Amino acid sequence: MPPSDNEEEENPPTALIPLVDTSIGSSSGVGGSSSSLEDHILNLNQRLEEFFLLFTHRHEEVTGLIRGIDSRISNLEHKFDKYDEGDDMSQDF
């Protein structure tokens, strides 16, 4: 997509969310893994919230671009609606 006219708008960070070590622990260390498991669940919750915010921002950005395209098409339709089929439009262009 070409850059939008709204380059001055504040853009959220576009960096990917860093990967988290998914190793919870070995089966021999089952007794001490509950704290680690809680940490992983909290980290997962935080990553999901960050993903949701990023997704929401992207959705709003795409929706805005679609609205812009829609208004441009509408303007072109209105411009061509004023011409009859027999008119020579080449003089305007």
Q: Is this model's pTM higher than 0.75 or not?
A: no
Of 23, 16, 24, the residue nearest 47 (C-alpha): 16
Q: Residues with Cβ < 8 Å from 63, sequence gap 6 or more?
A: none
- Chain segment 16-37, per-residue pLDDT in tens: 656 655 555 554 444 556 789 9
Largest CA distance in the chain: 86
CB atoms within 10 A of CB 65: 14
The pLDDT tens digits for 47-73 are 999 999 999 999 999 999 999 999 999
Tell me the C-alpha distance between 93 and 91, whole Å: 6
Q: What is the rounded radius of gyration, in angstroms, for the C-alpha atoms of the chain?
A: 26
